[in-house]
Amino acid sequence: MDHTRLFRLDGRSAAVVGAGGGIGRAAAHALAAHGATVTCLDVDGDAAAATARGAGSPARGRALDVRDPEAVGAVAEQLAAESGVDILVFTPAVNVRKRILDYTTEEFHRVVDLNLRASFDLIRAFGADMVRRGHGSIIGFSSIRAYTVEPGQSVYAATKAGLVQLVRTAAAEFGPSGVRVNAIAPGVVETPLTSPIKNDPAWYDAYAAKSALGRWATPEETAGAVVYLASDAASFVTGTVLPVDGGWTAVDGRYEPPGTT
């Protein structure tokens, strides 16, 4: 084994869903930098195209609304017919921050539809060809909210916990065919999804203080985990959830009792 090439992705095709910005854009650029040919997919086709232009290697962008199962299936079939997809990364999610008693049925369905059902559709649509070809890596984005919650995070947290179990089950079912399925669980990352709290100084500071590193992450700081799970460096890693949370779930906050310093 050539250990200098453990993280190289030359000759592999990647599809990044949610590549129009934030974590998805960072993932697309990182995969391309390591040699993958990347298809950037996003509900905003122009944003996907902009990500592709900035990838610095062969890449293309196109629109995909993952809330449309038929569209997901059609794109997966087209890419499978062209060159196949060796790596699938998906990031789309939405959060309605309300307490349970204030939630509407429409809001519940909106969060579940994008965060969980669309993830199921993506895993099925792209996983089918990977299983047929006998290799592939699927990487979904869960969250620390799959494990630790706060008031107002009920449905979002439930979908992210559901995604963890979906990934684990897919890993068990696809593993005999050589397909790996894993999840990444970020902490607080500066993205459009978190902008409502990022723009509140008190909230921003409180979240920063929760991690061992005492700050928020940038989208680029999640990209290394994507490259790792996509590459041969993780050839025996499947069914796992990799926290990229600055130590949030390890330290349970930043309070230091007297006499511990």
Residue 257 pLDDT = 61
Residues carrying an active site annotation: 156
Q: Are the beta carbons of 57 and 40 closer than 8 angstroms?
A: no
- pTM for the whole structure: 0.94
Strands 136-141 and 241-244: unpaired
* Spans of the chain below 70 pLDDT: 253-261
Residue 198 pLDDT = 80
Beta bridge partners of 137: 87, 180
Distance CA 59, CA 34 (A): 13
Helices of type H across the chain: 22-33, 45-53, 69-82, 105-112, 118-133, 154-174, 195-198, 201-210, 220-230, 248-251
Distance CA 243, CA 245 (A): 6
Complete domains list, the chain, with CATH: 3-245 (3.40.50.720)
Residue 261 pLDDT = 52
Residue 259 pLDDT = 62
What are the tokens at 248?
């949030």
Q: What 8-state DSSP symbol labels residue 113?
A: I
